[in-house]
Amino acid sequence: MKAMVLDAPERALRSVEMPTPVPGPDDVLLDVEACAVCRTDLHVVDGDLEEAKLPLVPGHEIVGRIVAMGAQVAGLAVGQRVGVPWLGGTCRHCRYCLAGQENLCDTPVFTGYTRDGGFAEQCLADARYVVQLPDAADPAHLAPLLCAGLIGHRSLGMTGDARRLGLYGFGAAAHIVAQVARWQGREVYAFTRPGDTDARDLALRLGAVWAGGSDETPPEQLDAAIIFAPVGALVPVALRAVAKGGTVVCGGIHMSDIPGFPYRDLWGERVIRSVANLTRADATDFFRTVAAADIRTEVTRFGLEAANEALSALRDGRISGAAVLVPG
């Protein structure tokens, strides 16, 4: 099979021919139909996340068809479409797993980071952690839901019943969260890179009541804000934008250092919190919402061997919505 492989951080991925992987007892082997390109993939490739398995096939927003299964797999069938998210496995016995917080597992497996992912024609996944997906939908439009959507969903849950919601960094995750928030009856305020008119236009088209640069002040105080951009300097900015009792959620796996800020910006029972990974329960809940709210994704398609081009476009802010690799 053909795959795009990372040999070392800060190097371009190279196209290689690899043997078709063989499923273990709990695994399914997939023909990859689509794999979205996530900002986390950038953090892996750029060396911001330092514990990657190397060499590595990145990619963790995978849509594929099952072509083979391990002997212990139950409840799935050859030919079925499934999705493979970032959380690829857990220990199932640490205190977090036993408490229903498997996203905080002490010894997790992460797709496209500690286990080969979906920048390939085929991949393996632990059958216990895949998501069953609709058979008729376009796989390229499903792929961003498997991380951008799921992390956005978990982040949105951290904002409680906030009515005025700010989204800092209007990319793959925010363009999905905005639709869910509008469906829930919230007001969305979108903050983009200064001068990014494409992102502003997309936000307004998706129902945002206001869109502006991250250096601008919204016309109303926010009840909560989610920061998807990996920019620590946005934390104090968002704190100043939320009203007393408001929450600032950091939705990324990596962020530059947060600068110092005066205590008065936090005072008034404002809260800063992070979101880590996802759970299988998150996936079940989110895909119910996707169906009920008729969530649509904006995608730019790339061939598998154009993975480096897709990563560069994402890094430079040249993607509106989500980038998706489509093998073949």
- Per-residue model confidence (pLDDT) at position 123: 98
Upper half-sphere CA count for residue 10 (Cβ side, 13 Å): 3
Residue 81 in 3-state DSSP?
strand
CA neighbor of 48 nearest in space, from 249, 253, 226, 229: 253
CATH class of the domain defined by 150-274: alpha beta
- Tell me how far apart the alpha carbons of residues 305 and 307 are, in angstroms, rounded to a whole number: 5
CB under 8 Å to 31, separation ≥6 — which residues?
64, 65, 67, 121, 122
- Per-residue model confidence (pLDDT) at position 213: 96
Please tell me whether the peptide bond between 55 and the residue prior to it is cis, using omega within 30 degrees of 0. yes
The answer to whether residues 153 and 286 touch, using CB atoms and an 8 Å cutoff, is yes
Could you write out the DSSP letters of every residue in 126-161? EGGG-EE--SSS-HHHHGGGGTHHHHHHHHHHTTTT
Residue 56 has what DSSP assignment? B
- Per-residue model confidence (pLDDT) at position 154: 98
Residues in the chain: 328
Positive or negative torsion for Cα 276, 150, 173, 189: negative
- Tell me how far apart the alpha carbons of residues 323 and 218 are, in angstroms, rounded to a whole number: 28
Where does CATH 3.40.50.720 sit in the chain?
150-274
Where does CATH 3.90.180.10 sit in the chain?
2-147+278-326
CA-angle at 151, arms to 149 and 155, nearest 5°: 115
CA neighbor of 80 nearest in space, from 17, 144, 125, 110: 125
- Tell me how far apart the alpha carbons of residues 192 and 290 are, in angstroms, rounded to a whole number: 24
Beta 164-168 vs 222-227: how paired, if at all? parallel
- Per-residue model confidence (pLDDT) at position 328: 85
The answer to whether residues 76 and 23 touch, using CB atoms and an 8 Å cutoff, is no
* Residue 184 identity: Q
CATH code, 2-147+278-326 = 3.90.180.10
The answer to whether residues 128 and 92 touch, using CB atoms and an 8 Å cutoff, is no
Beta 322-326 vs 27-37: how paired, if at all? antiparallel
pTM above 0.85, yes or no: yes
Per-residue pLDDT of the chain (328 residues; tens, 9 = 90+): 999 999 999 999 999 999 999 999 999 999 999 999 999 999 999 999 999 999 999 999 999 999 999 999 999 999 999 999 999 999 999 999 999 999 999 999 999 999 999 999 999 999 999 999 999 999 999 999 999 999 999 999 999 999 999 999 999 999 999 999 999 999 999 999 998 999 999 999 999 999 999 999 999 999 999 999 999 999 999 999 999 999 999 999 999 999 999 999 999 999 999 999 999 999 999 999 999 999 999 999 999 999 999 999 999 999 999 999 999 8
Residue 242 has what DSSP assignment? E
